């Protein structure tokens, strides 16, 4: 399974650059990013990186509030309706999605949907029962 790094941050001009600078200086490649404003000047940045354990360590050591959470990466057709088709299958498997974002891998034109779910183990079991392909970490991280 893949892991996502989430950082709680103050919504100010330089904070995101401080995060990306720490990762750059420690040779961690960001594969996907989702920035969400929460309220009252705070936000969360969710990152898919090529080395999640290393990213968690260096960001924590730099004084950030960091969480590493397991997510599920699913193969999606890179064509009109590809997302809709996959979401219907996920829904029919009885899986609730708490948050999601996608990523395109240009080398082989593979599209990936990253989903956060309440129970990764149960969701993975249901996805496999419905023959929905879970992407290998090496493809997700780009290694």
pLDDT digits over 20-79, tens only? 999 999 999 999 898 888 777 788 999 999 999 999 999 999 999 999 999 999 999 888
CB 31 within 8 A of CB 2: no
Average pLDDT, the chain: 90
Quote the pLDDT of residue 65.
Answer: 94
CB 68 within 8 A of CB 52: yes
According to CATH, the topology of domain 2-70 is VC0802-like (3.30.2130)
CATH architecture of 71-141: 2-Layer Sandwich (3.30)
Q: Give the C-alpha separation, 88 to 113, whole Å.
A: 13
Question: Could you tell me the pTM of the whole model?
Answer: 0.86
- Token pair for residue 137? 């970490």
Identify which has the larger pLDDT, 94 or 137. Answer: 94
Query: Do 71-141 and 2-70 have the same topology in CATH?
Result: yes
pLDDT at 92 over 80: yes
Quote the pLDDT of residue 142.
Answer: 74
Quote the pLDDT of residue 102.
Answer: 87
Q: Return the number of other C-beta atoms located less than 10 Å from residue 60's C-beta.
A: 15
> Which of 11-15, 41-45, 131-135 holds the top average pLDDT?
131-135
Quote the pLDDT of residue 54.
Answer: 98
- DSSP H or E segment with residue 111: strand 110-116
Q: Domain limits of the chain?
A: 2-70, 71-141
């Amino acid at each position: 399974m893949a892991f996502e790094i989430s950082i709680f941050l103050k919504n100010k001009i330089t904070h995101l650059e401080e995060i990306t600078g720490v990762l750059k200086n420690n040779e961690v490649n960001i594969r996907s990013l989702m920035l969400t404003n929460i309220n009252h000047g705070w936000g969360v940045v969710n990152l898919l990186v090529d080395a999640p354990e290393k990213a968690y360590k260096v960001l924590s050591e730099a004084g950030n509030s960091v969480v590493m959470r397991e997510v599920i990466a699913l193969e999606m057709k890179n064509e009109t309706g590809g997302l809709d088709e996959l979401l219907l299958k996920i829904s029919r498997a009885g899986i609730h999605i708490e948050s999601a974002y996608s990523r395109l891998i240009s080398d082989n034109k593979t599209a990936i949907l990253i989903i956060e779910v309440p129970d990764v183990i149960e969701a993975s079991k249901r996805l496999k029962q419905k023959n929905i392909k879970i992407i290998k970490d090496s493809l997700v991280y780009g290694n």
